[in-house]
Amino acid sequence: MSEYENAKEISESIDSVAAALDDICQTLDECAMLRDRFAMAALTGMFANANIDRLVAESQQHMAETAYGFADAMLEARKKK
């Protein structure tokens, strides 16, 4: 095999790996976006709660962590389908 053919084969392999990585990243981005959307829905539900003053007073950080906790649980439940 000539150096040119070898270089061309390596280049094609790199392109193939890059395409696979793009697919993986796209899937991860979609999962991250879905997680954010689930968290926003959970947070919206928390704000609709009659005890919102108490929830906000406890901690905005706690509310955000709880919302993402619900989002993570929803993502896990989707995997079981």
Mean per-residue pLDDT, 33-41: 86
End-to-end CA distance of the chain: 50
**DSSP label at residue 49:** S
pLDDT of residue 36: 86
Distances (CA, A) of 60 to 19, 34, 46, 68: 40, 21, 11, 12
pLDDT at 21: 56
Which pLDDT band, with edges at 50, 70 and 90, does 28 fall under?
Answer: low
Contact yes or no for 35/75 (Cβ under 8 A): yes
Q: Out of 4-18, 46-60, 62-76, give the one with best mean pLDDT.
A: 62-76
**pLDDT tens track for 40-66:** 888 888 777 767 677 666 777 888 888
Question: What is the value of pTM for the model shown?
Answer: 0.56
Least Cα distance to 47 among 68, 64, 35, 69 occurs for 64
- Spans of all domains in the chain: 3-79
